Structure 1
Amino acid sequence: MTATAVDTLVTEPATAGVRPVAVARVLRFELIKQTSSWRVRLLLLLSWIGPGLAVFAVDQQGTLPSDTLFGRQMHATGWAGSLVVLGAAGTWVLPLLTSMVAGDVFASEDRLGTWRHLLVAVRSHRRIFAAKAIASLTVIVLGVAGLAVSSVVGGLLAEGNQPLIGLDGHLLSGGDAGGKTLLAWLCVLAPTLALAAIGLLGSIALGRSPMGLLLPMIAALGLQTAQMLPLPVALRLALPGYAFISWNGLFTDPQQAGPLLIGVGVSLAWALVATALAYRLFLRRDFTNVNNDAAGRKALTWGVLPLAVLLAATTGIVAVTANGADGSGIDQNKVQQSLATAFAHIYRLQQAQMNHPPVTEAQLNTSAACLKSEGLGAQEGPGNDWRCTVYWAVPGDNVTAQAIYQLDVTANGRYIADGDGPVEVNGYFLIDISGKVSPNPLWQFDGNVDLLSSR
């Protein structure tokens, strides 16, 4: 199919003169070439079918992926399954998709030795680059759309359009949860484009070397490793992969929009700079030397150094302009406030599920006291050694109740609160909701500390 498309371009009527072939025709040719690859076809097929089948199958099981964000809600609402897929996609699927598509779009010509034919047929380096970049973007966006649509359909078929518990414990209606789920998928396009641009750069700079194909995967792995480290907030937000995580802030009230907007902006900046570097390297490449299948070490250096400068610049800008962008962004006051808010919201939900009289948050007057490492050392930073006591006023009685939670707080601010008594409040027991049995929502729940909130 590739040879046929090239022949079609080469055998254009002589009336075209020496003018370059139109971008639209080159783009159509590149799209045909991209989708003719069995690897790309398989990825797209799995993107449009796999998530829906996986979500539906997991929902039928008795054991849920409770260690993943929104995983324990997959039996409660169809939107939770799509969010579980979104978390996994940012870790593995989207980096793989960008590697297989953008990371191979230029290198494939080196492996096949078809650069001379393509240049003679098209007669424009710029149009070749534009067509290849747009074709890669099209295929990648199609794959992301498939992941989103398939996971949403699978979840809705399994559990329907039910409310979702947010990361601060407040209840989102089905429509609100659906809108924010789709917005979250839209936001992860930004870091996906950043990885795709890195793939374009590696595909040009490394030629037929397999490292060009693997570069987006390696970059994604490095970004994920960095997010697990106790980095300063400014550096954490300046990494292009943070938008794969910061969509969590959409599911709080008020929304934690600061980290999300910064993450999306940084990712788009990386996408633009890496694409511009790839364009520059491609135009400067010597295609007359058949032994030169890439731009060489110098080109790779000029591709890496500007990105390092961009990282330093964005880190400095975030540190200067963002509120609270110092230290880890996680301290005692933030953890206490977040836990108290989430507990109050979920306590009201629990009472409603158990058909108890409704209460207001003003009546509960919830507060929390947390210690890290039993009060030894600095009371800040991530770790699984946060122990908290939640206090609230029992409605109708002049007493103050308390409950114990163990918190595992990650470096990006997400935490899992695990109930440690009393059993009748946050122990594991089942609640019958309109004939459907579900675990006590206060037993375990997810929360999120806003890294940029004021202390």
Structure 2
Amino acid sequence: MTATLTADRAVRAPRVPVGRGYRFELVKVVSQWRIRLLVLACWIAPAVFVAGVSQQSTLPVDTLFGRWMLATGWAGPLVILGFAGTWALPLLTSLVAGDVFASEDRLGTWRHLLVAVRSPRRIFVAKALASLTVILLLVAGLACSSAIGGLATVGHRPLVGLDGHLLSASDAAGKVLLAWVCVLGPTLALAAIGLLGSVVLGRSPMGLLLPALVALAMQLAQMLPLPVAVRLALPGYAFIAWNGLFADPVQLGPLLIGIAVSLVWAVVATTLAYLLFLRRDFTNLTDDGLGHRALTLGVVPLVGLLAVSVPVVAAASGASGSGIEQDKVERSVATAFAHLYRMQTDQLHRPAVTEAQVRASAACHKGSVTADAQGPGNDWRCVVSWHLPGVEAPGTAVYQLDVTADGRFMADGDGPKEVNGYFLVRTPIGDAPNPLWQFDGNVELLPTSKG
């Protein structure tokens, strides 16, 4: 009789609220020494790196906005953002979300947790929210630390945009913040993939590495000459598309599509993880995941999602081919040259001109192809022409272009030396390289009204 009453009371015992379970899971995650080290590193290392690089004469010019780290404190957070999207955020999501369920399998504590909480659904929600909180804390640390390091070392100064136009310091601050917010979409997608891997693969180390491996595969795909619709359909494209915020006009199309695709992947992967978690047999001590069923239950739905996303994105955006076309390259190079020519004129204390007066235009070809050239490559060559008020003969300058598959290009001046050669110009903040010597730009991959 006593045993029956005890069993009835156990059955009728109230389930632990989600809020209480969330606090419990958050304390468990934060109490791990590696998580504490990650938080400490994310809130200190970026500031140290940005401050150190900003005091050097050699800058990471191969990184987007790296060449402007001596000119403004807002370039540092963008350099860190480029590194974070490539390496840091995939690894952070792997170490947090990829281990949140697998740790219970390694410790053999599922039965104790189920007895305490009495609801697998609430356990999943609490663990997912706890891992999301830690990931957001890490991302906030990277953004805030890099901004503090740049502002403390260089200062709150204007930033040169991706097409050469000058952003005010306040405008640059707003866009840097917005860029960091935009990468939360692909970060959530990787975190959801980490939850799925942690549920499906159990104590296997592959579950812990899954977000990093997926991110690496997406990076390799972005390096290949794939159609632009395939690029946009990958959940990590928003890690790249944020640079469109720093063009004029802002290139929102690829960014919005990338964020939308990332959020869809986050929802689908989280739903799969939730459904598969509810199917776990927690009474079987040897069951630590789905094992060989992982391919069918975890991977196939995501591959199907990618297959569906490609035609949907292509139809919605009108994207076709590589998106890198001759007229787009010419327009981007001419626009950036006009903005930077005006900046050079101011720095050399010459008579002021406007972009409209300069009337810059570019004639580009790729290798031996002079008409209808398209596609990425380092064999693009452009001849820029411009006019000055009161001067009949136009000026010309030659550039060698390295255009990557994601639309970014680096233009390297190839003469005349007096225009785009390497020499130092005096600026209000000290000597700086000639702004027309080398500059970065971005080709709009989607169809535009001008195209």
Shorter-chain TM band: over 0.9
SS in 1 for 2:368: helix
Residue type of the alignment partner of 1:121: A
Give the deviation of 1:18 after TM superposition.
Answer: 2.1
Gaps of 5+ in 2: 1-8
Question: Is the CA contact (8 Å cut-off) linking 1:281 and 1:299 kept in structure 2?
Answer: no
1:203-231 per-residue CA deviation (whole Å, 9 max, x = no partner) reads 00000000000000100100100000111
Q: SS where residue 244 of structure 1 aligns?
A: helix
Where does 1:380-395 land on structure 2 (aligned, <5 Å)?
380-395=374-389
C-alpha distance in 1 between matches for 2:187 and 2:54:
28
2:15 aligns with 20
C-alpha distance in 2, partners of 1:242/1:310? 15
Q: Secondary structure at the match of 2:237?
A: helix
Post-superposition offset of 1:365: 1.2
Deviation at residue 15 of structure 1 after TM alignment: 9.7
Q: CA deviation at 1:119?
A: 0.6
Q: Counterpart of 1:240 in 2: which secondary structure? A: coil
Q: Take 1:447 and 1:125, find their aligned partners in 2: how far apart are those partners?
A: 50
The equivalent of 2:4 in structure 1 is none
Q: How does 1:121-200 map to 2 (within 5 A)?
A: 121-200=116-195
Cross-structure match for 1:76:
71
Structure 1 outlier segments of 4+, above 3 Å? 14-17
Q: Is the 8 A contact 2:365 2:371 kept in 1?
A: no
Query: What per-residue deviation string (whole Å, max 9, x for no partner) do you get for residues 301-330 of structure 1?
Result: 21111111211121111111113x100000
Once structures 1 and 2 are overlaid, which stretch shifts more, 252-261 or 351-360?
Answer: 351-360
Alpha-carbon distance, 1:434 to partner:
2.8
SS class of match (1:356): coil
Q: Identify which of 419, 429, 454 aligns with 2:423.
A: 429
Superimposed CA distance per residue, residues 381-414 of structure 1 (whole angstroms, 9 cap, x where no aligned partner): 0000000000001332111010000000000000
**Are the aligned partners of 2:364 and 2:370 in contact in 1 as well (CA < 8 Å)?**
no
User: Matched residue pairs, number?
Assistant: 441
User: For residue 348 of structure 2, what is the aligned residue in structure 1?
Assistant: 354
Establish whether residue 250 from structure 1 lines up as the match of residue 248 from structure 2: no
* Structure 2 counterpart of 1:344: 338
Aligned to 1:407, what secondary structure does the other structure show?
strand
Where does the alignment leave 5 or more consecutive residues of structure 1 unmatched? Answer: 1-13
- In the alignment, the residues of structure 2 paired with residue 247 and residue 299 of structure 1 have an alpha-carbon distance, to the nearest angstrom, of 33
Partners in 2 of 1:202 and 1:272 — Cα distance? 15
TM-score (norm 2): 0.96
Instruction: Give yes or no for contact 1:374–1:387 (8 Å, CA) kept in 2.
Output: no
Once the two structures are TM-superposed, the CA of residue 60 in structure 1 deviates from its matched residue by 1.0
Q: For residues 435 and 258 of structure 1, do their structure 2 counterparts lie closer, same or farther at Cα, with a shift above 3 Å needed?
A: closer
Shift of residue 101, structure 1, vs aligned partner: 0.2
Q: State the shift of 1:433 in Å.
A: 1.3
Mapped to 2, the partners of 1:371 and 1:268 lie a distance apart of 38
Is the aligned partner of 1:319 residue 2:318? no
Shift of 1:374: 2.8
* Percentage of pairs with the same residue: 67
Aligned residue for 1:175, secondary structure, equals helix
Counterpart of 1:363 in structure 2 is 357
Write the distance in 2 (CA, Å) between the matches of 1:270 and 1:121.
32
Match of 1:308 among 299, 303, 308: 303
- Per-residue CA deviation, residues 110-160 of structure 1 (Å, 9 max, x unaligned), is 000000100111000000000000000000000000000000000001111
In the aligned structure 1, how far is the partner of 2:31 from the partner of 2:441?
A: 44
